[in-house]
Amino acid sequence: MMHILLSRWRQGHRTLPYPKELPALPARFQGLPRIAAAKCPEACRLCAEACPVEAIGFGADGPSLDLGRCVFCPDCVEACPEGAIAFTGDHRLATSSREALVRTGTDSYARAEVLGEELKRVLGRSLKLRVVSAGGCNGCEVDVNVLGTVAWDLGRFGIQYVASPRHADGLLVTGPVTRNMELALRKTYDAVPGPKIVIAVGACAIQGGPYCHREEQLGGVASVLPVDLYIPGCPPHPLTILDGLLRLLGKLKEPR
């Protein structure tokens, strides 16, 4: 026991200082995309043809990128001869509406908004979430679980994962919602006492992800339940998930 205590003392403080300071993200991290519509040749559709999940469309304002579908692969960037699409290192991707996830070259990004006054009063100081994996590949589930480790320590923000939906304030759902999971998801939601919230984490939970054309899945959480927070990514970085949760609760002050 003494050896364990001594080892722990030598390790020192292990919890990240976020949100006072941003942790260092790897150079390969791909965050909020930037679209330079002026660089896009009018007849060129190479980026859309390269996209494996049909996340890129074209309208009057030029190309658009649906972050709800995007799996953050570099295929579109590599396919574009003019460099019209690029991924930045901005991890702040969570939004409060599905429409806000469609990114164009002319709009600003509407990040997640704080809960309404009544919900914030009830849930703002202590939020308990029941995590439901509705047919995911375990990628998003891993990054959701990472937030419970000593490095991230989700509990210091008053947010905890619970085993029973009857002890929860809402659901955090991953996966595209397979037909086999639809009934279980509905029953879990019904078991959560109101008022309650639903959070969709990852491209699969938002729009079906790589499985969007498979008949075995329903195309995301919104096809079954009302969604209050969308956190895109495949999978989203733990920092992206935490950023969305804190914005929802009004607990985030922008780090320096």
CB 125 within 8 A of CB 158: yes
The span from the CA of 182 to the CA of 198, in Å, is 15
The answer to whether residue 146 scores a pLDDT higher than 50 is: yes
The span from the CA of 37 to the CA of 98, in Å, is 22
Query: Per residue in 175-227, pLDDT tens?
Result: 999 999 999 999 999 999 999 999 999 999 999 999 888 899 999 999 999 99
Which residues does 220 contact at the CB level (< 8 Å), separation at least 6? 68, 176, 177, 200, 204, 205, 206, 207, 208
Residue 87: band (very low, low, confident or very high) from pLDDT cuts 50, 70, 90: very high
Taking the alpha carbons at both ends of the chain, their separation in whole angstroms is: 40
The answer to whether residue 88 scores a pLDDT higher than 90 is: yes
In the chain, what percentage of residues exceed pLDDT 90?
A: 67
pTM equals 0.92
Q: Going from the N-terminus, what domains does the chain have, and what CATH number goes with each?
A: 33-90 (3.30.70.20), 117-249 (3.40.50.12280)
Residue 256: band (very low, low, confident or very high) from pLDDT cuts 50, 70, 90: very low
Entry field: residues in the chain: 256
Query: Per residue in 29-55, pLDDT tens?
Result: 999 999 988 888 777 889 999 999 999
- The three-class DSSP label of residue 64 is strand
Residue of higher predicted confidence among 74 and 13:
74
The answer to whether residue 117 scores a pLDDT higher than 70 is: yes
Q: Average of pLDDT values for 88-116?
A: 91
